[in-house]
Amino acid sequence: MTVSTFLQPDNTAQVGAVYKGAIDGAIHVHRRIAGAFACHQNDQGSPDAPDLTVRMDAGAIFDGVTLTEVAAQSTSSLTAPVSNPRMDIVYYDRATGAIGVAAGAEAGSPVDPSIPSGKIPVCRINWTAGMGEITNADLDDLRVSSISPIFTGADNGSPDMPGTPGLVPSPNAGYGTRFLREDATWQDVTGEDQTARDMAASALILADYNGTPGTKGAFYLADPFTSDSLGVTTNATYDAAGDYYTNLSQISQATGTADGNMTGGGNVGAAFDGITSQSQGASALRNSASGNTIGKVWSGALTIAAFRINQPNNGVGMLVATGDVTALLMGGASTVGVSGTQLATTTFAAAAGGLQSVNTGIDTSNSYIAHWLELSATSGSQMSIAELEFFQIANMTLRPAATTVLTANPSDVFGYFVIDPVDAVTMGTDVIGRISIDGGSTWATGAWTRVGSILTDYEIWRLDADVDSQTGSSLIWEIATANLKQVRVKQCGGLVPLYS
């Protein structure tokens, strides 16, 4: 469809062709939005005449990635009620645009039927007993909007986040969807609408990174983790720079026995003395550009998931001349430098005070008694290292303090979380989510559904938990990792209690 330039029709100032052209142009501008999915009596056939079908005009649907044009459609031939009036709802499928009808029940005072999940209502059919055709007079327009929705406010009647007014979905604390209109009033739409709920949670997560923990509209326990705010953080480390919790933790520099051939300068122990900024002369050092080894021998086999190299603070860092350093992470059965298996490799430029962290691409399939680096350089005749830090993974548990919901005994709870599965994980097996409404006395394990991606490496996941067997109003969530998989949890977008 081509476009027109909008010119407000004005019969007091425009005459003749100008006025007619303004009317045509205004209708053309509004046609795509105002006419989308409009319902009316049958206009097909020659000649066209009302029958027992409803015609729905063309429209378009957008799923956040793809715009799909939906052609005009008709319902199948419908059957009128026999004894009493009835109300039916004509709808289209949110994902496919396919037309359908939800049939009501005959009654002296009929009511609308429930709208199936994922369907968008467009009109109501007001049946009378024995009706032989459906005309425009029998139809009520129920369209809420043909505009692609964007969440901009919380479900409290007064938006608490900036945004452009319009028809926008926000989740209710129930099975409906609520829309914020341009006049700042809310419009309820009956029926469960999981797509809108996911869109709202995704938008809330985007908007809430600089926020504070608490209740955000319909979302309880929303927390962007801009501080170490959780009540339980077993085997978890809070990263203040990245605003996330991780189950990757540093092994104490006092653990194990330092070993290797970098015995010059401050000897091998200087790389594990907890001093990350020191000179080349005070660091572990060896006068060779290759064949350098330094590491730890542990009292029991460990799995290393990350390591960090701190370069000396003078000269050219680890070298005496400009060049690159290659570090191989090795694992062995007993002694540093002997019969090792390569677990990872990294190459980086030598620089005074430089820091090289490696936490991906490491083979964590086996544990070893000894871990070390084999260091080589492209220039110079000396290698030094100020501090070498090793990290391992533990199974962590995260849990906030409980909060009180306004209405007790929800049947289900949806929770939204931002997670970076650094390792390949199976959600539900390696990352387990649980919900409780009795303060943690009883837990319901939820099912995970991936909602989408956010920022770099992070994913939005929805946790669905059936808490119908629990009673109470003390809402709390728990995430636990298993099988020693590295995971970062960046945010709880919030929990939505649902009531059947």
pLDDT at 185 over 60: no
Residues 372-430 have pLDDT tens digits of 999 999 988 899 999 999 999 999 999 999 999 999 999 999 999 999 998 889 999 99
- 462 φ/ψ sector (left φ>0, alpha ψ -120 to 50, else beta): beta
The most distant pair of C-alpha atoms in the chain lies apart, rounded to whole Å, by 101
Mean pLDDT in residue range 243-266: 96
Asked if 384 contacts 413 with a C-beta cutoff of 8 angstroms, the reply is: no
Mean pLDDT in residue range 324-337: 96
Collapsing DSSP to helix, strand or coil, 211 comes out as coil
pLDDT at position 219, please? 83
Residues 191-240 have pLDDT tens digits of 345 665 566 566 566 555 446 677 776 788 989 888 899 999 999 999 99
Average pLDDT over the chain reads 85
pLDDT at position 62, please? 76
> Computed from CA positions of residues 331, 332, 338, 339, in that sequence, does the dihedral angle turn out positive or negative?
negative
Peptide bond into 85 cis (omega under 30): no
Query: Burial letters for 193-225: b for 16+ Cβ neighbours within 10 Å, e otherwise?
Result: bbbbbbbbbbbbbebbeebebebbbbbbbbbbb
pLDDT at 120 over 50: yes
Tell the residue number behind the tokens 């220039």, with chain if given: 379
Please give the backbone phi and psi of residue 220, each rounded to the nearest 5 degrees, phi first.
-95, 150
pLDDT at position 157, please? 34
Amino acid at 99: I
Angle at CA 432, nearest 5°, toward 429 and 436? 145
Mean pLDDT in residue range 122-127: 95
- Measure the CA–CA gap between 383 and 385, rounded to whole angstroms: 7
Mean pLDDT in residue range 108-118: 89
Q: pLDDT confidence of 21, banded at 50, 70, 90? A: confident
Q: Which of 347, 387, 393 is nearest to 367 (CA)?
A: 393
- Measure the CA–CA gap between 210 and 346, rounded to whole angstroms: 34
Six-digit token pair at 500?
Answer: 């059947």
Residues in the chain: 500
pLDDT at position 430, please? 97
Q: What percent of the chain has pLDDT over 70?
A: 85
Residues 97-109 have pLDDT tens digits of 999 999 999 999 9
Q: pLDDT confidence of 139, banded at 50, 70, 90? A: very high
pLDDT at 144 over 80: no
Distances from the Cα of 412 to the Cαs of 98, 173, 352, in angstroms?
A: 29, 10, 56
pLDDT at position 165, please? 31
Number of neighbouring beta carbons within 10 Å of residue 388: 26
Six-digit token pair at 493?
Answer: 């977008």
pLDDT at position 168, please? 39
**Domains defined for the chain, CATH in brackets:** 39-141 (no CATH), 219-243+396-498 (2.60.120), 250-393 (2.60.120.260)
Q: Which of 87-101, 176-190, 252-266 has the lowest mean pLDDT?
A: 176-190
